[in-house]
A and B are shown apart, each in its own frame.
Chain A
Amino acid sequence: MNQQENMPLGMQSNRRIFLKRTGLSLGTMALGSLAPDLAFGGSPAVQPGTGGLASLPNLRPSAKRVIYLFQSGAPSQIDLFDYKPELKKHQKKELPSEVRMGQRLTTMTSGQSSFPVASSLFKFAQHGCNGTWLSELIPHTAGIVDEISFIRSMHTEPVNHDPAMTFCQTGSQLAGKPSVGAWVAYGLGSLNRDLPTFVVMVSRGKHTDQPLYDRLWGSGFLPTRYQGVKLRSGKEPVLYLANPAGCSPATRRQMLDDLRELNQEKYAASGDPEILTRIEQYELAFRMQTAVPDLTDISQEPQHVLDLYGPEVHKPGTYARNCLLTRRLMERDVRFVQLYHMGWDQHNNLPSQIRDQCHDTDQASAGLVKDLKQRGLLDDTLVVWGGEFGRTVYSQGALTETNYGRDHHPRCYTIWLAGGGIKPGVVHGRTDEFSYNILENPVHVRDLNATMLHCLGIDHRTFSVKNQGLDTRLTGVEEAHVVKAVLA
């Protein structure tokens, strides 16, 4: 539909004044193009896609869908991906000041009297055709190393979780901008009108101490129909979706038809785009009454497929189950699925806690990639695995033979990418021997977001929305570069 382009998103800044001037005419125009999408008579049982801007994609896409496996809390790159054998020589010694260069630390360790180097307690080995070094903590990821590409030189600006996650998700440290999934839903539209375009699932590790705010998958200044829909882990993935006792589907349909007419009248009068959101959400909910139970019923999944994800797949709400549901969402062409797994924030007791985190996530992440591949879905699905920053080489708190902790470290961390448009088997970027500063090919969070959009066929420089008098982009006003080295 074209109405998004015509729809003055800038009205969000001063909507009442704007509406008084032009609301009626624009409203009528937008409603005209909405109407065909609301026609249900004689249409097929499953609805194909809708929405999106006519101007997008403006590049030939290599991916149609995105899976963002967000590892909330910031996994330690030193204990998982960034092999630093030389650190053994520096064990327990003070981190050289020329490495730290007086860089900012969090208040959790800035008061420490010493910054002793803590090498990783875990063994590393080489895997895959190009001999990528990976930790023993992630044997299943090691098994797909030829399918994925690592960026070892990610860096970001914030030093604390909330601004850092907000930065990853929205391109801004301050809350209020749309999440990347909302940008994609707005720009490219849906491929399946029976399910939300942007779906979110959250799982918790055993040591979760960080909150996760719903605004991370919000739509910011975009209409709220683009915000992520969180599927719950309980019996009802979406609350109040089922009809109440005594209400037949036909009754529900008739009620929604009448309600829609009233809402359309109201929209014609006020021009408030949130009324369109309301109309669409009622209709989506009606279609989801059959689509969601079908999505979450995994009884037909054969055992050997479940086994790919590991034993926890049988437990709703786990990362493994969410990964399986993600594959089912991909089969249903849901555009953007965002998982969060919490609990990577290992300031203390890192060795024991990171084992638990890897146990929760390693097999399922790798299983998802394998399962997508055997179905031929990996070719046009972009998979991103990563957190909001890295962790320090120096120990937070006491450093012993068997225990240490690591503080937040935004100056370097590792992520991996796979699937649509990604060249497999690449290791991009290099850090110094302390995994503290980047030596080669730094990749900023903005660059990652630009690369994600690029894979979807969107030039991040031209994808903007007018907001508060500015052409606002996901990648902001500073330079951002697509990371061509990891592209096929």
Chain B
Amino acid sequence: MSHRTIIASLAASWLLVGAYSARGADAPAAVAPSPQQQAAIAAIEKLGGSVRPVAHDSPLLDVDFHLGGGAVVDADLAQLKPLDKVIWLDLKETKITSAGLANLKEMKSLQRLHLETTAIDDAGLDHLAGLENLEYLNLYGTNVTDAGIKRLAGLKKLKRLYVWRTKVTDAGVAALKKESPGLLIVGGAELPPLSPAEIAAAALKKPPLKTLAKGQFVRVRLPGKDRYLSLAEVQVQKTGDGAELHKGGVAAGYRARGGVQPG
């Protein structure tokens, strides 16, 4: 969408809103983006972003820096300030850091925020604490930790939180779930790794819930890392009697946990 078109369509949608709210009054004046807002939209477009109304007759805005805004840095986010009706903001794969998120503090309308695959960390999440309408927050591929996501417990409308490829652990997810029971926290798509206690418990039940059959194999995911360990790095025990199936030894310094996945 060209810049000219955006101005035109925004003007059209705000015109409708203006007309509606001014019913009964003398000839309602067209409510167009203020010069400041027009300048902000132009600046965002120049940065490679786009500004669109979420629907034709809506004053609400979708601001997207994904794809075009690869060079966007913290200071650039100041351009968002004049736009008070942004409900969707996509900063995926931009060059922002936690400091830049201070510019989002007053964007109370935000419902969906994409911060995935950026360099942000826990410090940035402090700036989001007041975004009371936030429903979707994507932090996948960032440096956030358990301590950081804990600060999101105050966001009562938050429904979905994405933490794949972060430093968030199962314990951190469990802690936040306790405070925000309605929140769906999405990690990696692998089957959840079983703890040794769970494996032992499973072996006591009849029939065993998880057993190795011909053609199946064990995969062990290193917590917080995006790779499986090789058999040389882990100890594999037979479910039930605990007999060693593989003598590789446990990778030093890690608590490797096993999960059985059909092969």
- In the bound assembly, the distance between CA atoms of A82 and B64 in angstroms comes to 42
Interface residues of A in 35-90 (CB under 8 A from B): 36-37, 43-52, 54-61
Interface digits, B1-21 against A, CB 8 Å rule (1 contact, 0 not)?
111110011001000000000
| B70 shortest CB reach to chain A, Å | 6
- In the bound assembly, the distance between CA atoms of A55 and B54 in angstroms comes to 11
Interface residues of A in 339-387 (CB under 8 A from B): 367, 370-371, 373-376, 379
Which one of A43, A49, A194, A374 contacts B164 once the chains associate, using CB atoms below 8 Å? Answer: A374
Binding site for A on B (CB under 8 A): 1-5, 8-9, 12, 47-50, 54-58, 60, 64, 66-71, 112, 114, 116, 136, 138, 140, 160, 162, 164, 186-190, 221, 226-228, 262
Contact of A457 with B55 at beta-carbon distance under 8 Å, contacts A46-B48, A374-B140 already known:
yes
User: 7 other contacts beyond A1-B5, A48-B49, A48-B50, with CB at 8 A cut-off?
Assistant: A36-B3, A60-B54, A194-B67, A304-B228, A374-B164, A374-B188, A376-B116
Contact B3 A46 (CB under 8 A): no
Nearest chain B residue, comparing its CB with the CB of A190 = B1
A333 sits at the interface (CB 8 A): yes
Contact A302 B160 (CB under 8 A): no
Contact B162 A48 (CB under 8 A): no
A303 sits at the interface (CB 8 A): yes
| A43 shortest CB reach to chain B, Å | 8
Contact B68 A37 (CB under 8 A): no
- In the bound assembly, the distance between CA atoms of A191 and B1 in angstroms comes to 9
Hey, which chain A residues are within 8 Å of B49, CB to CB? 48
Hey, which chain A residues are within 8 Å of B12, CB to CB? 54
Contact A46 B186 (CB under 8 A): no
- In the bound assembly, the distance between CA atoms of A453 and B47 in angstroms comes to 31
Binding site for B on A (CB under 8 A): 1-2, 33, 36-37, 43-52, 54-61, 139, 189, 191-192, 194, 302-304, 308, 332-333, 367, 370-371, 373-376, 379, 457
- In the bound assembly, the distance between CA atoms of A57 and B112 in angstroms comes to 18
Nearest chain B residue, comparing its CB with the CB of A375 = B140
Q: 18 interchain pairs (CB within 8 A)?
A: A2-B5, A33-B2, A33-B5, A36-B4, A46-B48, A46-B70, A48-B48, A48-B49, A48-B50, A50-B1, A56-B56, A57-B54, A59-B55, A139-B262, A189-B1, A304-B221, A376-B114, A379-B160
Contact of A374 with B187 at beta-carbon distance under 8 Å, contacts A2-B5, A49-B1 already known:
yes
- In the bound assembly, the distance between CA atoms of A93 and B221 in angstroms comes to 53
Interface centre among A36, A50, A56, A304 (most CB of B within 10 A): A304
- In the bound assembly, the distance between CA atoms of A376 and B88 in angstroms comes to 14
- In the bound assembly, the distance between CA atoms of A61 and B186 in angstroms comes to 23
Hey, which chain B residues are within 8 Å of A333, CB to CB? 66-67
- In the bound assembly, the distance between CA atoms of A194 and B69 in angstroms comes to 14
Nearest chain B residue, comparing its CB with the CB of A36 = B2
Contact A302 B227 (CB under 8 A): yes
Contact A308 B189 (CB under 8 A): yes
